[in-house]
Structure 1
């Protein structure tokens, strides 16, 4: 027994030595400094006092205060191991885009950051695209898929095995405009799209960041051009609002859009002239979601013309717009980007006339609407087309065609007893 005790104690000692040596490799600067190239260097500390080894190498300038490098470092968002200067160990588990919705629960959605937004964003229409997918399934006569997957969303298409033409059409022609898309996965201008939170909050182009030692800047002041990256087809409202018109088959025009389409200049919307961006009207709950799984955009919209011009800052949902105030009998709106104050005009007495009761505001005030006639699509199962969901070319080419396109006086229709503007095509 007396011989076993020293051997047992020696074994414990050896195990402890090995453990300490291994620990020193993983956490080499427990004493606030370490040796590199024969010189002792101080370990970078965050404002919280936490050591952040990433900052030894990563000196990119961060042009914002909310995510300042001296406060958050790198690992708070990008994960990895900040307690080592070994390259491989430090970059194990690192994520390039912390706002990617596949891992956002570990980054932006963690307890001390934005956990309240996680469920909201994952259920909003820009993430699910449910309305578009459901409509296509109905148009193609494939309601059976909708019955089997009543809450179908973009995320499902990454693993859903189906020969559906509607789904294939979506993946080829619509699949780049959703938050679930991995940023940078698709080529050319498509690389700017998607990426979860960064799809909207990332200011500037990815291509520009590669040529400058600059960290991407995140902002709550989202400019119009971020929205128009996606909202530039269908009704072309992103173009018309700022006074741009896509001519027939992207013909002649003095403005070239990011995807190469030629645009002609026309008179912009009065709100654009006043300097208002999309987020000046559309609310946080509309854009980011409120946690509810909406089936189409009509269900999700909370703001209409009356919210500002009649109800003085009250949405259809009954929530108060923070940037609308009433002072001395006048209503003012504060721009969210430039913080300028704008006078909100009240409707004229003609708008309240009983003969105009069924008229929507746009029925009279919309000057013109882009209109497409003879629109149809052609499918060639022999050719190949880039699948924006899978990120590779697959069989089945889709092409859109039209007879002619015009910018003209609005076409009116009746919807739920209300006369509204519609966009043919």
Structure 2
């Protein structure tokens, strides 16, 4: 063979291999398209779910040296490898059929009190439970996948069906949370509007500007058409729990019930087992409701900064970046918690740092009591003396008298609370709201923390050396002596 032809032969061979590789790639893509088109999307989601589960088992196997655990994990992994796509049918206790979990395989049970076997998915989410086509199945869903949004909460959380009597329509008004929540200041922002109008001289005293079923952003000309009116709407009245509003710095369209009862991370990204939404923004950490709400959830709206009511601007706290990257609340050091709970410049007492927000703020304060208030102070049901008493009297005790006492309801939705019996002693606020998480025990009054179940003995003012003024009993008065915020400067 002539040596001068070798470069041309090699070049031709290289081109041939390149062409062959290109043909194989086209064939692979074409085959993939054919395979995908011949398999419905629900099969793809199930395959992806099984693959994610196998990967998790593999990761656990690499992390353990325990022979028995390894054997169990290997068996579980091998069982998962044998799984084949199939239509998943959920038969409810009322005989109805749903196919939602055909795609949403592995999704978490929403809560112990909302079992999917009894309630299913559609009663809360809406949509078409029988369709396996994504567009058809999701058509008519409440709140675009967020059934806790305020504008659809009567259809979802307040639903009344043949197999469910939910959070509306009860004889006892306290059980109709969907109705009551409309009167909460966090929902209607009536107090925010009334105070801003008062501070700018538009009202002689704080007064209610909203009507029943209305929210502050719907009030015609809430700022009397003054130049700051649009800023007031954009920066204040249309954020957080409002209809169509968004929580600060997040892309979720959730609000209302979900703002509190679905725990989220700062990036609001789903981290559960349902691969159809895994890693996507605008969701809770998992598909799970809770009444055990840590302060970190509250802080995603509160204590992010300070609103300036004069120019309707919001000034972020200077250490917010550090707070977002800090440890989970259960892993915080006391020093970190002191810095994370409140923003610099605020005053607070020791118990306000050690407890979570829900350990002080009552159900009616947060969820509303059916009445509309012009100020936050008017809507508060609890003051320091409701737990600690004054130097002239002890806190008000209440004896649980009957099995239908409202105190039992809160005990039932939080497994951290000690079991309650008729005859038990609990506290009651001066405004008449029961505090079932505060019980009389041998050593005195004891608060059970709602999130962790830890017990917290309550020191009483009565019989102590406290020299408080019985006529000055607001939290601001208590802060004058018991402020611990100075520790932040040390």
Common fold: TM-score over 0.5 = yes
Higher strand content, 1 or 2: 1
Aligned to 2:351: 271
Equivalent in the alignment of 2:34: none
1:100·1:197 contact (CA, 8 Å) conserved in 2? yes
Distance 1:83 1:221 in 2: 34
Measured at CA, do residues 153 and 191 of structure 1 come closer, stay the same or move farther in structure 2, by a change above 3 Å? farther
Match of 1:296 among 356, 369, 375: 375
- State the 1:75 CA deviation: 0.8
CA RMSD after TM alignment: 4.0
8 Å CA contact 1:193–1:229 kept in 2: the answer is: no
Match of 1:54 among 100, 109, 122: 100
User: Whole-Å Cα distance in 1 between the matches of residues 195 and 213 of structure 2?
Assistant: 12
User: Paired residue for 1:182?
Assistant: 244
Residue pair 1:80, 1:93 contacting (<8 A) in 2 also: yes
TM-superposed CA distance for 1:126, in Å, is 0.5
Q: Is the alpha carbon distance of 1:290 and 1:152 closer, same or farther for their aligned partners in structure 2, counting shifts above 3 Å? A: closer
Q: Distance in 2 between matches of 1:169 and 1:216?
A: 35
What is the distance in 2 between the residues matched to 1:252 and 1:91? 41
Return closer, same or farther for 1:207/1:136 CA change in 2, 3 Å cut-off: same
How high is the TM-score relative to the length of structure 2?
0.55
Name the residue aligned to 1:318: 432
- The more displaced of 318-327 and 358-367 is 358-367
Q: CA deviation at 1:357?
A: 3.1
Deviation per CA, 1:4-47: give whole Å up to 9, x if none.
Answer: xxxxxxxxxxxxxxxxxxxxxxxxxxxxxxxxxxx995733234
- Which residue, out of 269, 286, 289, partners 1:218? 289
For 1:127-178, what per-residue CA distance to the aligned partner results, in whole angstroms no more than 9, with x for missing partners?
111111112223334349x999564997352584663345323223324544
1:345 corresponds to 2:459 = yes
- Alpha-carbon distance change, 60 to 265 in structure 1, aligned in 2, over 3 angstroms: farther
Are positions 1:90 and 2:137 aligned together? yes
Between the aligned partners of 1:86 and 1:211, the Cα distance in structure 2 is 20
Q: Is the 8 A contact 1:142 1:164 kept in 2?
A: no
Q: Distance in 1 between matches of 2:319 and 2:294?
A: 27
Is residue 65 from structure 1 mapped to residue 144 from structure 2 by the alignment?
no
Question: Does the CA-based 8 Å contact 1:332-1:344 persist in structure 2?
Answer: yes
Q: Could you say if the C-alpha distance between residues 324 and 128 of structure 1 is closer, same or farther in structure 2, counting changes exceeding 3 Å?
A: same
Q: 1:348 to 1:255 in 2, by over 3 A?
A: farther
Q: C-alpha distance in 1, partners of 2:304/2:135? A: 44
- For residues 334-375 of structure 1, the C-alpha deviation after alignment (integer angstroms, 9 at most, x for no partner) is 11111122211111646665x7333435154332569xxxxx
Q: Which has the larger radius of gyration?
A: 2
CA–CA separation in structure 2 for the residues paired with 1:107 and 1:129: 23
**CA distance, structure 1, for counterparts of residue 210 and residue 479 of structure 2:** 34
**Corresponding residue for residue 74 of structure 1:** 121
Q: Provide the residue aligned with 2:182 in structure 1.
A: 122
Residues 265, 192 of structure 1: alpha-carbon distance in 2 compared, 3 angstrom cutoff: farther
**What secondary structure sits across from 1:299 in the alignment?**
helix
**Alpha-carbon distance in 2 for matches of 1:82, 1:150:** 38
Cα distance per residue 1:382-409 (max 9 Å; x no partner): xxxxxxxxxxxxxxxxxxxxxxxxx89x
In structure 1, stretches of 5+ residues that fail to align are 1-38, 237-247, 371-406, 409-425
Q: 2:156 aligns with which of 104, 107, 121?
A: 107
1:362 corresponds, among 468, 471, 478, to: 478
Unaligned runs of 5+ in 2: 1-84, 169-175, 272-276, 308-314, 326-338, 390-394, 398-426
Query: 1:155 corresponds to which residue?
Result: 215
Shift of 1:333: 1.0
Q: Aligned partners of 1:330, 1:217: CA distance in 2, in Å?
A: 36
8 Å CA contact 1:204–1:217 kept in 2: the answer is: no
Q: Partners in 2 of 1:216 and 1:104 — Cα distance?
A: 17
Measure how far apart 1:282 and its partner are: 1.1
Mapping for residues 200-239 of structure 1, pairs under 5 Å:
200-205=260-265, 206-209=268-271, 210-212=277-279, 215-232=286-303
Equivalent residue pairs, number: 317
Cα distance, 1:49 vs structure 2: 3.1
Distance 1:268 1:228, change over 3 A: same
**Contact 2:148 2:254 survives alignment (8 Å):** no
Q: Name the TM-score, length of structure 1 as normaliser.
A: 0.63
The corresponding residue for 1:197 is 257
Contact 1:127–1:154 under 8 Å retained in 2: no
Pairs within 5 Å for 1:237-252:
none
